[in-house]
Amino acid sequence: MVDDHIKRKILLLGDGAVGKTSLIRRFVVDKFSDEYITTIGTKVTKKDLRIESPGKAIDLTFMIWDVLGQKGYKGIQESSFQGAKGALLMYDVTRLETAESLQNYWIPHLLVVTNPIPLVVVGNKVDLADSRRQAQEELDDLKEALGVTGFLSSAKTGQNVEAGFLALAKAIIAQSDAKMSRREAVEEATHEFIAVTDQIIMDFCDGMGGQEAAMPIVRQQLTRAGVDVKAPTREGLRLAVDYLAETESSFRNAADVEASKRKRLGWIKEVA
Ligand code: G3D
Ligand code: MG
């Protein structure tokens, strides 16, 4: 029996407010959740695809990483790049400086961490463009400069939302062997736990009003739970969530502490 099911991590990169979160929402019928509204840390969304090519169909699961778009968060960003097999590079056609950012910031950063991987560029908010023709010319220039394929999209109208993801899927399939090695599978799971750790830490810091006050406690409780930040495990994270809740109960009310704890345990559970 041939196992044609493959799972790949992809990144959605681009400056803040270009429409990354909106694009994922359009593409994935996802349950609506509060933490989706502003992307704090990194959010991972799953999407199953079936790629048909002559004589063959491949089932592909994308793990789409919506990476914090604020420039300067290099640590969080670069740790989320690891293990990625492709990236959608997104800009806003009404703000051309966001296209420059792809060349000046996002691509160089990506290449520090990953080997060259398939890239697709997406010029979003085409519904707001004054001239579609001009937007297309600008996109064509960018495609040529980067040597990649690309599309004009609108997360608002849904135009070309699938096209970008599908083009990336095809490029990834073309490039990689359909079978993921065991080692790669293990690595991928590790990176997912890193994203969840990131999310839990951010959430805790939020509750405490900032990293400055919260980080010493985070370090202490993660150490106590035996969490290795380079390779967090499900068990370690569960324990860390317990310990963090314990410390929170001294300055938050019991119902809030319990709600945060359940939310964080839910994130851990989501990791396949
Ligand atoms: P980000 O995840 O890249 O930071 P968001 O971007 O998805 O949060 O989108 C930022 C804002 O742009 C949102 O507006 C969103 O509705 C809007 N937006 C995203 N894609 C499109 C698009 O294709 N067309 C139009 N017209 N707007 C878009 P708000 O006002 O909610 O902040
Ligand atoms: Mg976002």
Q: Which residues surround ligand 2, an ion (CB under 5 A)?
A: 20-21, 39
Q: For residue 264, what pLDDT is reported?
A: 95
Number of domains in the chain: 2
Mean pLDDT, the chain, rounded, equals 86
Torsion, Cα 151 157 158 159, to 10 degrees, reads -30
What is the CA(52)–ligand 2 centre distance, in A? Answer: 30
pLDDT greater than 70 at residue 30: no
Q: For residue 78, what pLDDT is reported?
A: 81
Query: What atom of ligand 1 comes closest to residue 38's alpha carbon?
Result: 8
Q: For residue 178, what pLDDT is reported?
A: 42
Q: For residue 34, what pLDDT is reported?
A: 42
Whole-model pTM?
0.67
Residues 22 and 145 in one domain: yes
Q: For residue 173, what pLDDT is reported?
A: 86
What is the CA(12)–ligand 1 centre distance, in A? Answer: 14
Q: How confident is the model over 225-241, as a mean pLDDT?
A: 92
Question: Which residue's CA lies nearest to atom 5 of ligand 1?
Answer: 19
Note down the domain range covering 140.
2-174
Question: Which residue's CA lies nearest to atom 9 of ligand 1?
Answer: 19
The answer to the question of residue 57 being in a domain is yes
CATH number at residue 43: 3.40.50.300
Residues 18 and 149 in one domain: yes
**DSSP state at residue 46:** E
The pLDDT-based confidence of 176 (bands split at 50, 70, 90) is low
The answer to the question of residue 241 being in a domain is yes
Residues 101 and 44 in one domain: yes
What is the CA(246)–ligand 2 centre distance, in A? Answer: 31
